[in-house]
Amino acid sequence: MKEEVYTSIICKKFCNYYKPNKETEFCGGYFYLQKYITSRELDGIIKIFHLNNESEATKGLSFICDKCDFREDGCDFFVNQSHIPCGGYLIISRLLGYLNF
């Protein structure tokens, strides 16, 4: 089950695919951020680095996609790498970009 605070930060602000009432499906980015970063830390990171959902995404973050419920059936970004990624992927990608990874 998704937590409202993470859903608000990750999905509602960053994900173009967000649909209310899909609370049992996790994108890989959501899963990763929820597991390793508290909601308070995540909110701070987004503010400090001025992250937004209009940023380009780094490709090749397989550790995110490997845990994704949408990977096999329904992720245009994973299939052809030309569409916009999920919100969690976008946050992680932009953060790594700022840190020069």
pLDDT tens string 18-54? 888 877 777 889 989 999 999 999 999 999 988 887 7
Task: Tell me the whole-structure pTM to 2 decimals.
Answer: 0.83
- Domains of the chain: which residue ranges? 4-98
What percent of the chain stands above pLDDT 90? 32
Closest CA to 63 of 100, 24, 36, 23: 36
Both tokens of residue 90?
A: 């976008």
